[in-house]
Structure 1
Amino acid sequence: MTLWRHFDIVDLTDKTHLLVEQHISYLKDIEFDQSYEISLIRESVLPKETCEFWTYLLTIEKGAELYATCRSKIYVKGIEPI
Structure 2
Amino acid sequence: MNRAPLPAPGATHPDPVRGDDVLRVATNAMYAKYDWTLLARALRQATTGDASLMRDLDTVTLPAQGASCTQTAPAAALTGTAPRWVVPRER
What range describes the TM-score normalised by the shorter chain of this pair?
Answer: under 0.3
Greater strand fraction, Structure 1 or Structure 2: 1
Larger radius of gyration: 1
Q: TM-score, normalised by structure 2?
A: 0.24
Structure 1 or 2: larger helix share?
A: 2
The structure whose RCO (Cα within 8 Å, separation 6+) is larger is 1
TM-score by length of structure 1 reads 0.25
